[in-house]
């Protein structure tokens, strides 16, 4: 499926040749076999890409929204038609089950479709003036050149969630995808190319994160940095972007609580918790990291969950019935294991799974694991695990569990399971999170504002809110008469 070398630097409408001395190898995380090599770009390439994006900005931003919209529609259509092949590429480099990967690609295309529609709808405002001799307008203007930095866990949708609204708004872009998953990004750029995107509007540089990020931070032309990734890197970007007072949009880490109240439908809640925790092997920013179950149903709920988890098939994402693929790399699986060991040392009980998966593949697989007897001081209750372990803690009353759920610097997503409407509304209002799911663990959709509060981020992706991130309001005051 892949050549030995894959061109991955795209500047001003041209793919750059790969210098064999400066490459990064992309591995299949299920087998640890090399797939291909991509270009390792740095400061020089990033500067050139920014220059191309700056040159392309005036014509792209002045183009009627409806015309930009046509290109985004076409891109969405091409991606949807090719979802099966793109899904295979995604699974090869990222590991998630093929069904999830194809679903991600279709979801990524749906973001382009949504923003194709929004491109024609960047409305301004006419303000009634208090003086007869004045007229006042507020005009939305695209911010300018955008630097977009994306992670490996959703290598396709994280890109279109940023590029869709940025391009619809009239911004031009330099993209830096994760070094772990550049191949899905290459395919998205090819889609834009085929859809007729003018030269320089979208550019991509793979390679040295520090150097590329630094070029985005230090170059005045880049007016906004949109980043999805860890809170640590988000804080760094925030600090460094102050020099030029850049706009920032940050989608950072999470530590989601799931609360199962005593009125929950146990079977339904267990299914949803399982989907929330084990999707993408637990490597999802909004996946359940802490599970609180009401003491009166804890035994029954744990048994139900255990039965379901025990049936999960671990293996290569390319196999039809796989539900749990590999973790992205060794560091990720060691972190997961360290959370498990720490919990067990401090008294946790292994209800199901536990430890590395010893199957017939070399990748970094981890058994889907349930732990009970959980204390607040365990690492797993205080840090993002990003892997397939679910710690269950019981609770007695609503106030106690809300206080525990909120006792973290993160504020991305939280979930409630109950059939009691009053309780659902009360709890959703008290939870300090940017997103709350009530009997729902799939809140990310193109039409809704997705984003964290506290140290989980700034700004929104999705909906008209997502496009507002890439627009600035210009106020025009007109004296007449
Ligand atoms: P990461 O290490 O922060 O990397 C994210 C991106 O930043 C990658 O492209 C990485 O490049 C780049 N990067 C790293 N250091 C950089 C620097 N000094 N300057 C500029 N760019 C830099 O995060 P990750 O491990 O890939 O992703 C997992 C994290 O993302 C988790 O915390 C997860 O919760 C979060 N996440 C949040 C959301 C959300 O919507 N809130 C969604 C998905 C993931 P390289 O890969 O090339 O090093």
Read off the pLDDT of residues 238-254 as tens digits, 9 standing for 90 and up: 999 999 999 999 999 99
Confirm or reject: Cβ of 24 under 6 Å from ligand 1. Answer: no
**Separation of alpha carbons 79 and 73, rounded Å:** 10
Mutate to test the pocket of ligand 1, among 216, 227, 230, 410 (most ligand atoms within 8 A of CB): 230
pLDDT tens by residue, 161-180: 999 999 999 999 999 999 99
**Separation of alpha carbons 357 and 388, rounded Å:** 11
Query: Which ligand 1 atom is the nearest neighbour of the CA of 152?
Result: 26
pLDDT along the chain (481 residues), means of 10: 93 96 97 98 98 98 98 98 98 98 98 97 95 97 98 98 98 98 98 98 98 98 98 97 97 98 98 98 98 98 97 96 97 98 98 94 97 98 98 97 98 98 97 98 98 98 97 97 85
Confirm or reject: Cβ of 235 under 6 Å from ligand 1. Answer: no
CATH architecture of the domain with range 256-444: 3-Layer(aba) Sandwich (3.40)
CB 288, CB 369: distance < 8 Å? no
- Specify the residue with its C-alpha closest to ligand 1, atom 46: 178
Q: How far is the CA of 212 from the centre of ligand 1 (A)?
A: 13
User: How high is the pLDDT of residue 1?
Assistant: 73
Size (the chain), residues: 481
Q: Is 285 annotated in the active site?
A: yes
Strand pairing class (349-352; 413-417) = unpaired
Q: Is pTM, for the whole model, over 0.95?
A: yes
User: How high is the pLDDT of residue 481?
Assistant: 85
Mutate to test the pocket of ligand 1, among 210, 229, 413, 455 (most ligand atoms within 8 A of CB): 229
User: How high is the pLDDT of residue 427?
Assistant: 98
**Separation of alpha carbons 392 and 293, rounded Å:** 7
Among the listed residues 285, 287, 461, 469, the single catalytic one is: 285
Burial 269-305 (b: 16+ CB within 10 A, else e): bbebbbebbbbbbbbbbbbbbbbbbbeebbeebbebb
Mean pLDDT of the chain: 97
**Separation of alpha carbons 36 and 403, rounded Å:** 48
Strand pairing class (247-251; 457-458) = antiparallel
Q: Is 251 annotated in the active site?
A: yes
Q: How far is the CA of 274 from the centre of ligand 1 (A)?
A: 25
Radius of gyration of the chain (CA): 23
- Specify the residue with its C-alpha closest to ligand 1, atom 10: 178
Confirm or reject: Cβ of 254 under 6 Å from ligand 1. Answer: yes
Among the listed residues 251, 323, 461, 469, the single catalytic one is: 251
Q: How far is the CA of 151 from the centre of ligand 1 (A)?
A: 5
User: How high is the pLDDT of residue 2?
Assistant: 87
Strand pairing class (369-372; 349-352) = antiparallel
Residues 6+ apart with CB under 8 A from 472: 140, 141, 142, 143, 247
Domain-wise residue ranges, the chain: 5-252+455-477, 256-444
Secondary-structure breakdown of the chain: helix, strand, coil percentages, each rounded to the nearest 5:
40, 25, 35
Options 3.40.50.620, 3.40.720.10, 3.40.190.10, 3.40.605.10; which CATH number does 5-252+455-477 get?
Answer: 3.40.605.10
Q: How far is the CA of 115 from the centre of ligand 1 (A)?
A: 24
Confirm or reject: Cβ of 458 under 6 Å from ligand 1. Answer: no
**Separation of alpha carbons 356 and 377, rounded Å:** 24
């Amino acid at each position: 499926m892949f050549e030995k070398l894959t061109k991955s630097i795209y500047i001003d409408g041209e793919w750059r040749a790969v210098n064999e001395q400066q490459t990064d190898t992309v591995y299949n995380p299920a087998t640890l076999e090399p797939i291909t090599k991509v270009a390792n770009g740095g400061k020089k390439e990033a500067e050139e890409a920014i220059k191309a994006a700056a040159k392309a900005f005036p014509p792209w931003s002045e183009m009627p929204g409806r015309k930009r919209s046509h290109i985004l529609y076409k891109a969405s259509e091409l991606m949807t038609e090719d979802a099966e092949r793109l899904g295979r590429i995604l699974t090869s480099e990222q590991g998630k089950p093929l069904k999830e990967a194809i679903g991600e690609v279709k979801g990524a295309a749906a973001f382009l479709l949504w923003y194709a529609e929004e491109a024609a709808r960047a409305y301004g405002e006419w303000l009634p003036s208090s003086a007869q001799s004045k007229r006042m307008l507020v005009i939305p203007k695209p911010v300018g050149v955008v630097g977009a930095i994306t992670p490996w866990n959703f290598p396709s949708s994280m890109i279109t969630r940023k590029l869709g609204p940025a391009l619809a708004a009239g911004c031009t872009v330099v993209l830096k995808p994760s070094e772990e998953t550049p191949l899905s990004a290459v395919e998205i750029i090819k889609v834009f190319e085929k859809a007729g995107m003018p030269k320089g509007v979208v550019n991509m540089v793979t390679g040295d994160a520090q150097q590329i990020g630094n070029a985005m931070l230090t170059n005045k032309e880049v007016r906004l940095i949109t980043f999805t990734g860890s809170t640590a890197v988000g804080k760094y970007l925030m600090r460094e972007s102050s020099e030029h007072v850049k706009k920032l949009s940050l989608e950072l880490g999470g530590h989601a609580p799931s609360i199962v109240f005593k009125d929950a439908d146990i079977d339904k809640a267990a299914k949803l918790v399982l989907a929330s925790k084990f999707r993408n092997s637990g490597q999802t920013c909004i996946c359940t990291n802490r599970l609180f179950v009401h003491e009166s149903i804890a035994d029954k709920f744990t048994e139900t969950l255990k039965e379901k988890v025990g049936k999960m098939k671990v293996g290569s994402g390319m196999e039809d019935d796989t539900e749990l693929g590999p973790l992205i790399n060794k560091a990720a699986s060691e972190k997961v294991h360290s959370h498990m060991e720490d919990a067990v040392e401090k008294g946790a009980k292994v209800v199901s799974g536990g430890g590395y998966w010893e199957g017939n593949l070399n990748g970094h697989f981890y058994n889907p694991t349930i732990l009970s007897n959980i204390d607040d001081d365990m690492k797993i209750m205080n840090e993002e695990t990003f892997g397939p372990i679910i710690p269950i803690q019981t609770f007695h009353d609503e106030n106690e569990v809300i206080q525990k759920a909120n006792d973290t610097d993160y504020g991305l997503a939280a979930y409630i399971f109950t059939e009691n409407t009053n309780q659902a509304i009360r709890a959703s209002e008290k939870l300090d999170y940017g997103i709350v799911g009530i009997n729902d663990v799939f809140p990310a959709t193109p039409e809704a504002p997705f984003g964290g509060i506290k140290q989980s981020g700034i700004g929104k992706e999705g909906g008209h809110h997502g496009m507002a991130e890439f627009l600035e309001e210009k106020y025009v005051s007109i004296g007449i008469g």
